[in-house]
Every structure is written in C-alpha cells, then in structure tokens.
C-alpha cells in the first residue's frame, strides 16, 4: 500500500513537471488589451520558450486568457467555454477591466469582477498590461503548477452553486446541462448538492 502511494506520488511529480512546460492557451480577446499578445507570442518576447502555445479549442486548452472587459452576452460564452475545458485549467484575467470593470466600471452592459463567475488563477493588472507583465505572470503560473499550488479550478467544483447563482443573476436561467456537479463527485474534490 505504502509502495503504491510512493509510486503515484513520483508519477504525479513527473506529470506536473511535463504539464508545467506544456501549457496551451486559449485567448479570448474581448478587449483592446489583446493587442499586446502578438508581441508576447512572436520573436521579441517569444512565449513559446516557456512551452506556452496558442490553442484553438477549449478541449485541448489549459489556460483561458480573458483579455479585457466582458459584456453580459460574452460572459455566457466564456462560461460555456470554461466548462468545456479539461481540468486542471487556469483562468487569467488580463487587464483592469477583468478585475473591477476598469474604465467600464459603471456600464450596465459589462460585468465587474470575473472571479465572481468563474475561478481566476491570477490577474494581470494594467490598462493594458505589457508583454513583460504577461511573461512575468506566466512564469509565476509555471512555478505554482510545479509546487502544486495552482488549484483555483477546484473551487468551481467545490462552490459551483455560488458561481451558478452569480451567472444566472446576470444572464438568467441556464438551460444547458452541465457536467460540473457529476464531475465533482467523480473527482471527489468537493461537496456539491444536486
């Protein structure tokens, strides 16, 4: 028994090491800050040297980067995308608009704080954050994954009712069936009521 746990633990360490250097990112470019991504991805800052690559589908993505303000309609799409991603998954709020609404803080059409609707691993403050800040944020994420501390995604399973309530408060009842409550039981990472 003890041997099995040791083996699993060693295997987990190997998996984590591989995973932290192979992160695929879906960038959901809602706001003006997206203009800082091309220099981050191309030769000048070369995000790929950290093993971070763009990905076009949620199913294969590890990181969901939200690059700015979210309208009510857009939030609904973001939630759908987030729920399609495989765990572990990491949401990055990019720019002040994702933190507190930024310059759209008093707009009736935007949400103010992304972490009220889906778990956010970290925010990149600024309007707009520069490529240096993006690289700094991603290197920190890599370190946190390596240390087993990048676990914000678990909160969606543990506190699904909280997120669902906030989502429905913004865009009404969600009819689409979600796998989240069943997945939570499978992973045994939280108590989720039926």
User: What is the binding site for ligand SF4 (CB under 6 A)?
Assistant: 31-33, 68-69, 95-97, 102-103, 127-128
Q: How far is the CB of 17 from ligand SF4 (least distance, A)?
A: 33
Q: How far is the CB of 101 from ligand SF4 (least distance, A)?
A: 9
Nearer to ligand SF4, 36 or 62 (CB): 36
Q: How far is the CB of 40 from ligand SF4 (least distance, A)?
A: 14
Nearer to ligand SF4, 127 or 133 (CB): 127
Q: How far is the CB of 136 from ligand SF4 (least distance, A)?
A: 17
Q: How far is the CB of 105 from ligand SF4 (least distance, A)?
A: 10
Q: Which of 149, 183, 141, 165 is nearest to 79 (CA)?
A: 165
Nearer to ligand SF4, 78 or 145 (CB): 78
The DSSP bridge partners found for residue 28 are 66
Nearer to ligand SF4, 41 or 145 (CB): 41
CA angle centred on 16, ends 11 and 17, rounded to 5°: 100
Nearer to ligand SF4, 75 or 184 (CB): 75
As a whole number of angstroms, the distance between CA 124 and CA 54 comes to: 18
Q: For the sheet containing 23-28, what is the strand order?
A: 52-54, 23-28, 63-66, 90-94, 122-124
63-66 vs 52-54, strand pairing mode: unpaired
Radius of gyration of the chain (CA): 17
Nearer to ligand SF4, 101 or 190 (CB): 101
Q: How far is the CB of 29 from ligand SF4 (least distance, A)?
A: 10
Exposed / middle / buried, residue 89 (Cβ in 10 Å: 0-12, 13-18, 19+): buried
DSSP string covering 137-173: HHHHHHHHHHTT---TTHHHHHTHHHHHHHHHHHH--
């Amino acid at each position: 028994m003890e041997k099995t746990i040791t083996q699993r633990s060693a295997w987990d360490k190997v998996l984590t090491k591989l995973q932290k250097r192979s992160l695929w990112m879906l960038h959901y470019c809602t706001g003006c800050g997206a203009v800082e991504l091309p220099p981050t991805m191309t030769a000048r800052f070369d995000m790929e040297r950290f093993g971070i690559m763009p990905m076009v589908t949620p199913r294969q993505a590890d990181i969901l980067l939200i690059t700015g303000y979210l309208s009510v309609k857009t939030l609904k799409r973001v939630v759908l995308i987030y729920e399609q991603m495989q765990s572990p998954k990491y949401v990055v709020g990019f720019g002040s608009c994702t933190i507190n609404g930024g310059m759209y803080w008093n707009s009736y059409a935007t949400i103010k704080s992304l972490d009220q609707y889906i778990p956010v691993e970290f925010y990149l403050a600024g309007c707009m954050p520069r490529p240096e800040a993006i690289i700094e944020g991603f290197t920190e994420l890599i370190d946190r994954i390596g240390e087993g501390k990048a676990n914000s995604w678990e909160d969606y399973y543990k506190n699904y009712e909280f997120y669902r309530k906030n989502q429905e408060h913004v865009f009404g009842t969600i009819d689409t069936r979600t796998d989240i409550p069943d997945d939570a039981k499978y992973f045994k990472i939280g108590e989720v009521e039926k």
